Structure 1
Amino acid sequence: MQGMRRALPLLALLPLAACAVGPSLDERLTTYVGRTELELVSTLGVPTRSYETGGQKFLQYEENRTVAVPGGFVGGPWGGPWGRGYYGGFSTTAYAPVQCDVTFALREGRVASYIYRGQGCA
């Protein structure tokens, strides 16, 4: 699990393209550190979950989506009475689910830190 980080916003901020150009997720999320809970919820929407303990409040946002995964070459050798060779071609595109969870920690009503995890966090 990644250590606590300075709070940063999520959802509309997560382009999943590995070659995306622009600010990193950390750079985008750090803009929320120090903001109030009202500002966070007004910007990102209602969180998926919330939890309070030890004078701290935690707001979790989840993003689930499906991405296209390029197909690859499928084939192999064949043989018969007329000779041997290879058959094959390229498979169709497959689809895979990806997820990113971001949890913001609030102290005294303001974003103090965040943590994120998932293969969809880019």
Structure 2
Amino acid sequence: MRMLPALLLAPALLLGCAQGPTLDQRLSTFVGRGEADLVAALGVPVRVHEAEGRRFLQFEQRRAVAVAQPPALYGPAFGPWGPRYGYWPAPPAIAEVGCELTFTLRDSRVETFSYRGQGCG
């Protein structure tokens, strides 16, 4: 009888570990939609190019992330008993990561998309 509550709880625990939709899944919702829907959702594109009956819209997303640095040897630090020397954890550095999204439109409808960059995900 004790096994029954554990079996009922297992699926709930697995659902708690579930991740959200991938970038491909999120972007695929735009395929077939119009240019106005795309701009309304992502903002104004940074670049627009037209070639061979297609229109290419490029969007850029940038965000700052904290990056751990290796410990560094610092000068004296003053504690309650005077100066002390040694390794102290370095403050985290801030790095900027970006993602470039490119949508291909034909007849004002999204046909395909591609992305590149470390910040895509």
Q: Same fold (TM over 0.5)?
A: yes
Instruction: Note the alpha carbon deviations across 1:4-42, whole angstroms, 9 max, x for none.
Output: xxxxxxxxxxxxxxxx93111111101000001111112
Higher relative contact order (CA 8 A, sep 6+): 1
Q: Kindly indicate whether residue 32 of structure 2 is the aligned counterpart of residue 30 of structure 1.
A: no
Residue 80 of structure 1 corresponds to which residue in structure 2? Answer: none
TM superposition outliers: structure 1 runs of 4+ over 4 Å: none
- Following superposition, the deviation at residue 46 of structure 1 comes to 1.1
SS in 2 for 1:32: coil
Q: How many equivalent pairs are there?
A: 93
The one-letter amino acid paired with 2:21 is P
1:1-122 correspondence to structure 2 within 5 Å: 21-75=19-73, 87-122=86-121
Where do 5+ consecutive residues of structure 2 fail to align?
1-17, 74-84
Aligned partners of 1:27 and 1:97: how far apart in 2? 24
**Larger helix percent:** 2
- Following superposition, the deviation at residue 70 of structure 1 comes to 2.2
Aligned partners of 1:40 and 1:33: how far apart in 2? 10
TM-score between the two structures when normalised by the length of structure 2: 0.71
Aligned partners of 1:110 and 1:31: how far apart in 2? 12
- Following superposition, the deviation at residue 73 of structure 1 comes to 2.4
The one-letter amino acid paired with 1:57 is R
Instruction: Note the alpha carbon deviations across 1:47-77, whole angstroms, 9 max, x for none.
Output: 11100010000000001222111233234xx
